[in-house]
Amino acid sequence: MPTQKTLRRLAREHGTPLVVIDHEVLRRNYATFKKYLPRVQAYYAVKANPDPAIVRTLFDVGASFDVASMPEFMIVYDLIKDMPAKQRQDWIWDKIIYAHPIKADATLRELDQYKALVTYDNSEEIRKIRKHAPHSGLALRLKVPNTGAMVELSSKFGAAPGEAVDLILEADRAGLVVEGLSFHVGSQTTNFENYVQAINLAASIYKEAQDRGYTRMNLLDIGGGFPAPYDDTVRPFRDLARRINAEIDRLFPKNIEILAEPGRFLVATAATAVASIIGKAVRDGKLCYYLDDGVYHTYSGILFDHCHYHVEAMRKGPREICTVFGPTCDALDTISMAEELPSTLKRGDLVFSRNIGAYSVASSTSFNGFPPATVVHINQ
């Protein structure tokens, strides 16, 4: 992350609240992913942070992209729109997956012209795709264990294993091509066994499909969930990669293309939030600090991502357990009820939070008239 000296300088130049995105960290995280999962093509989950500058940096280092809406698709498309038509079409097919299993009719109609790879998990979606986006390739999303994930997803998406091959054959009868399987073990999954179980389940469904006569699948999308190192309780990524590599190499031949959808892993550690203290009070004997940023803005991950961000001070002093509030009139706007900070901080002092690049700025609002933080990019 940037040094405190750099953060102070940027705060003087741009004011607060401020989010500083370090593109050297983005490049380093992508290189780490490729180093430990060399067989896996990384499709950056744009929803984690759709800032076009982030997408550009990952594009430049060779990433592919997972999109879940047409606005996200167009952020990526803007990078390739000047390519010749054939080259652009080939790039979309190889480099973009529309990984939202449930899509509006209007979305499918717009998407059809790009002939993209899309996910599905039910019969109704097959009928919609056949009618509105018949040129798409399909990947069947499976329901897999999300045990221990910070954000559970399998209650909302994923075909039950017992119906998976039936859905593959149904899509085939509808004239669609099922290219492969996908799954998602849940966001910020520190339970590595989820991946082992999911890969084994996918292998068994591949075999069942072949046994029942469907032999056209050639890819496996192992989804996202790769945990960001928010604290020391998160085991090293290389340990997870070792488990994934072993199962893939054991269960899938070399000609099967392996995809993944890292989002948080690539961007979480690349951003730092800087805020100013705008108020200070003692309530029921407890020191409270009020910041010019909060859960309706950069700290929205507290609400939407079940994540906790530590607030750190740029000044030293005797510390005590404090409450940290955001700037709005809503009591929900609470960053922490138990943050250890110096009791001597004053109005105008700066505080910061590390590892706040995923599912944070992307969910900012202007609730209560407070604007989102200014975003500054460094090391582009």
Q: Would you tell me how many other CB atoms lie within 10 Å of the CB of residue 249?
A: 11
Q: Are 327 and 335 in contact (CB under 8 A)?
A: no
Q: Which of 288, 307, 322, 329 is catalytic?
A: 329
User: CA–CA separation, 208 vs 195, rounded Å?
Assistant: 20
Q: Would you state the structure tokens that stand for residue 7, as one six-digit string?
A: 């953060």
Residues 6+ apart with CB under 8 A from 292: 16, 17, 275, 276, 278, 327, 370
Are 67 and 37 in contact by the 8 Å Cβ rule? The answer is no
- Residue where the block lists tokens 């960053």: 335
In the chain, beta strands by DSSP E = 18-22, 40-45, 64-67, 96-98, 117-120, 137-142, 149-151, 177-183, 187-189, 219-221, 257-260, 271-283, 286-291, 312-313, 319-325, 334-342, 350-353, 374-378
Calpha distance 101→98 (Å, rounded):
8
DSSP structure class, residue 286? E
Residue 59 phi/psi, 5° resolution? -60, -45
Which residues are within 8 A (CB) of 333 and not within 5 positions of it... i.e. 6 or more apart?
294, 295, 296, 325, 326, 327
Q: Is there a catalytic annotation at residue 329?
A: yes
Q: How many residues does the chain have?
A: 380
Q: Which amino acids are annotated catalytic? A: 329
